[in-house]
Amino acid sequence: MAEEKESLFSKKNLQLLTGPLGSQNPITVQVLGICSALAVTAKVESAIVMALAVTIVVGVANMAISLLRKTIPNRIRIIVQLLVVATLVILVDQILKAFSYGVSKQLSVYVGLIITNCIVMGRMEAFGLGNKPWPSLLDGLGNGLGYGMILVIIAVVRELFGAGTITLPIAGELRIIPEAFYTACGYENCGFMLMPPMALIIVAVIIWIQRSRNKDLIKK
C-alpha cells in the first residue's frame, strides 16, 4: 500500500461529515428516511431523540460494516448488515427505555423501525462496504446529522404552529406563543400541522427552497 497517509480531518473526510448537511442531504436530496420523518416530528423532543438515535446507529453500524467489509461474503451481506443494525437498535431501544421512558413511549415502534430505515441500509451499502472505517464513521455520522437536522426543522415548524409550544429534552415543554395571543388576538393553533401529511408538505417546501437556491440539484 503506497497510499499517502491522510490526516484524520483532511478536507476530504470533513466533506463526508458536512456534505449530508447540504447538497447530499439524505432526506431532501436522496429522499430517504421519509417514513420516520413523518411519524416522529409532532414534537421537537421526540425528533431530537430520534435524530440522535439514528446518528449513533448509522455511524457505528457504518464503521462496523467497514471493519468487516473484507470478510463479509457478498451474497449474505444484507443479512450481516441487518444483524449489525438490529443489535445497535436494540441497544438504543433498551437505553431509551431505561433512561427516558416517556420519550421511548412516544417513539413507540419507530425506534425499532430504525432497523429498516433506508438511510442506514443505504449508507452501509453505498459507503461502508467500500471504504475504510474512519471515513465510514464520519459518513455515517454526517448522514445521521443531516437526517436529524431536517427532522428537527420539521418538528419545530409542526409543534410551534400546531401546539404553540416547543418541547425540548430535559427543559421540557416551553410555551412559545403566549396565551394572551390566543385570547386577545383570536389566534388558533393549526390542527393540520399535527397531522402526518403536513410533515410531507414541509419536507416538500424544504426541498423546493433548497433546489431553488442550489440549481445543481435539479435533475435534467
Partner 1 sequence: MKAIENWIQKTKPNFEKGGKYEKWLPIYESFETFLHVPGTVTTTGSHVRDAIDLKRALIIVIFALVPTLLYGMYNVGSLFYTSIGEDYTMMEAFGYGFIKVLPLIVVSYIVGLGIEFVFCYIRGHEISEGYLVSGLIIPLIVPVDIPLWELALAVAFAVIIGKEAFGGTGMNIVNPALLARAFLFFAYPGNMSGSSAWVHSVEGKATVDAFSGETILGQLNAGVAPDAIHGVANNQLSVCDLMIGNYAGCVGETSVIAILIGAALLLFTGIASYRIILSVFAGGFVMGLLMNCLAPETNYVMQLPAFQHLLIGGFAFGAVFMATDPVTAAQTNTGKWIYGFLVGVFAIMIRCFNPAYPEGMMLSILLMNVFAPLIDHMVVKANINRRLKRAKAAQETVTNA
Binding site for partner 1 (CB under 8 A): 186, 188, 190-193, 195, 201, 204-205, 208
Q: Are 176 and 160 in contact (CB under 8 A)?
A: yes
Q: At a CB cut-off of 8 Å and minimum separation 6, what does 50 contact? A: 36, 40, 107, 110, 111, 148, 151
CB of 161 to partner 1, least distance (A): 9
| The three cell numbers locating residue 19 | 456534505
Q: Are strands 165-168 and 172-175 parallel, antiparallel or unpaired?
A: antiparallel
Over its C-alpha atoms, the chain yields an Rg (Å, rounded) of 19
Q: At a CB cut-off of 8 Å and minimum separation 6, what does 51 contact? A: 144, 145, 147, 148, 149, 151, 152
Toward partner 1, which CB reaches closer, 57 or 193? 193
CB of 155 to partner 1, least distance (A): 18
Paired strand residues for 175? 165
CB of 203 to partner 1, least distance (A): 12
